[in-house]
Amino acid sequence: MKISTGDPKVPVLYHVERTRTGASFSVRAVKAVQHGKAIFICQASFQQMQPSPLQHQFSMPSVPPPEELLDHEALIDQYLRDPNLHKKYRVGLNRVAALEVPIEIKVVNPPTLTQLQALEPKQMFWVRARGYIGEGDIKMHCCVAAYISDYAFLGTALLPHQSKYKVNFMASLDHSMWFHAPFRADHWMLYECESPWAGGSRGLVHGRLWRRDGVLAVTCAQEGVIRLKPQVSKSKL
């Protein structure tokens, strides 16, 4: 759970509590502190490997492979070249294009200009870290996946409303992840996102990170605050 924005110039003090240490499961509570205040709280659960015949998972969606799709930069450039693109979308896309993102993204079924105004709260895209991480420790890949999972995640809740409202403030309230199988964060994975509910200035999103071989590697859930800019009513006088 994120409490407040951290300061990259100030060291972070981590308080670790051994909540539970069992034979099969262990739990640790971590509090990150700056300036004497908590900026981040995390609860992590660990399990000894325990094979079991009780296994199942959802089926991975059937989508085009990443090699057949435009990368994020090329897709944005394609939108910006369209003379019919509305000004409000042009400003937002230019802002996104200016960001330096350490992950590669290829959107599955990117919407057309006419579809931008009426999207379902669902999206899928192929993602992977830029550069080579290597086999290494799975914990490094889990850390990178945590970053990947937060990118554009809460924005899924905005898709049906982006043509009607402008966002004033948006931030994560809590973010949960369940790691099911080993994976490489520097290999392409399909990120399937959906928002089953939004209301009360909050949005809820669910996500699934799939390996290319169809194995469900990670399940994610996030709730965030979404505050809109006040709408100014135009006088008819």
Residues marked as catalytic: 150, 172, 222
Q: Taking a C-beta distance cutoff of 8 angstroms, is the pair 79, 93 a contact?
A: yes
Residues in the chain: 237
Three-point CA angle 28, 34, 36, nearest 5°: 95
Tokens linked to 169: 């403030």
Burial status of residue 203 (CB atoms within 10 A of its CB: 0-12, 13-18, 19 or more): buried
Report the b/e string of 160-194 with b at 16+ CB within 10 A: bbbeeeeeeeeeeeebebebeeebbbbebbbbbbb
Distance CA 61, CA 192 (A): 8
Q: Is the dihedral of CA 185, 110, 100, 74 positive or negative?
A: positive
Q: Taking a C-beta distance cutoff of 8 angstroms, is the pair 201, 160 a contact?
A: no
Residue with tokens 């890949």: 141
Distance CA 3, CA 137 (A): 29
